[in-house]
Amino acid sequence: MFNLLLQVVQPITTPLCLLSVSSLLAVFLWSILIATRDGITRLKQLHQVPCSRCAYFTGDYRLKCTVHPCKALTEDAINCLDYEPTTHPPQSRTKTCK
């Protein structure tokens, strides 16, 4: 009886399992593609933050910006009205011996 049932069910379950595994793999790859695309979009947006090129940016983790310390290095700083381009190159924090 069991062998007869197995002979009837096996031709149906084999393609069904193949289809379900293929579908799960496709959904997994699709979600990876969507996550990668969203990550790249987010990185492009974060690279628009101009704080590191601003004259008011201190580079100190305690006070990042003297004008807007809470907005510094966040998305709120993208269109900062107080942005002033740096006129001098960044200084090295290490002192050289003469």
Distance of alpha carbon 6 from alpha carbon 49, whole angstroms: 64
pTM: 0.60
* Domain extents in the chain: 8-47, 50-85
Which residues 6+ apart lie within 8 Å of 51 measured at CB? 57, 64, 65, 72, 73, 77, 80
**39-88 pLDDT per residue, tens:** 999 999 999 999 999 999 998 889 999 999 999 999 999 999 999 998 76
Q: Tell me how far the alpha carbon of residue 43 is from its chain's centroid.
A: 5
Phi, psi of 65, rounded to the nearest 5 degrees = -135, 135
The pLDDT value given to residue 3: 80
Does the CA dihedral 13-14-19-22 come out positive or negative? positive
Distance of alpha carbon 58 from alpha carbon 43, whole angstroms: 23
Going by pLDDT thresholds of 50, 70 and 90, the confidence category of residue 96 is low
**DSSP 8-state class, residue 39:** H
